[in-house]
Amino acid sequence: MAIDEKSIVEAVSGLGFKGNEEGLIPAFGLHLTTHFADYYNRSSFAVARAMEGSGLEDDARALLVEAGHICAFNTFGGIMKSAEWDAVVAPMIKTREDWLHGIVAVINAFGWGKWHIERLDPGVELKIRIENSYECTGWLRDYPVSKFARCYLATGGVAGLMNLMYVGDITTRPELTEAYYVELFRGGDAFHAVETSCMARGDAHCELKAAKS
């Protein structure tokens, strides 16, 4: 494989993203934040637990995973179209699948925990293992072992990777419009992800699998 993950992580983490004179971080065609994991976790888990108390655990999960889909579409998609991608990752790309290995390397500079591609069957299935997921470490610090998987953002993210690559085609640099989002994530061909192992449930690590349903 041509992708040098260590070099990508070093390059991205070394970009030194920091607010400008307006306190904003414009990058990858987005406004980035270096946000607090505790904020996401406390907000998301409070809502999830409130809905689970009403027997709406599947609805809670679907809502929070959908936010992850939106993240993947815009953030991963924006990165893979960016000048930074062209400078750091694109020169290493030899195959179509290298796009996925490249974006996973970039993700590993975002503070989300360590993502690793366990299995990639192009156009069919993606299995990602995550060590030190920020969602799970937050859950386990504040709550007992969970009945449910808790990596909502990551679940949406893993499905989003496959939708960007194999339902759409991010390599052609499409406009990331609302209509394109609907085409990729709401059509009958869309990939959906499930979290088959989760540290919050007591598993050793988190594992997510995206496939067409």
Partner 1 sequence: MSGPTFDAAKAQITLADSRLVFHCHHYNVSLQRTLQDALGERAVAIQREAACETARVMLTRLYAEEALTDFSARVARASQIFSDAGFGRADVSAFTPLGATLTLTTSHYAIGWIAKFGPSSEPVDHFAAGYFRGALIAAAGLNPERVSLEVVQDAGAGEGMLTVVRYEVR
Q: Running DSSP on this structure, what letter comes out for residue 56?
A: -
Residues 23-82 that bind partner 1 (CB under 8 A): 23-25, 28, 30-40, 42-44, 46-47, 50-51, 59-60, 63-64, 66-68, 70-71, 73-75, 78
Return the structure tokens found at 10. Answer: 């070093």
Mask 89-118, x = binds partner 1 (CB under 8 A)?
-------------------xxxxxxxx---
**Spatial distance between the Cα atoms of 104 and 38, rounded to a whole number of angstroms:** 23
Residues 173-202 that bind partner 1 (CB under 8 A): none
CB of 189 to partner 1, least distance (A): 23
Strand-pair partners of 2: none
Taking the mean position of all CA atoms in its chain, how far away is CA 119?
16
Q: Residue 62: which residues within 8 A CB-CB, separation 6 or more?
A: none
* Cβ neighbours around 161 below 10 Å, total: 27
Residues forming contacts to partner 1 in the complex (CB under 8 A) are 6, 9-10, 13, 17-19, 21-25, 28, 30-40, 42-44, 46-47, 50-51, 59-60, 63-64, 66-68, 70-71, 73-75, 78, 108-115, 131-132, 134, 137-138, 153
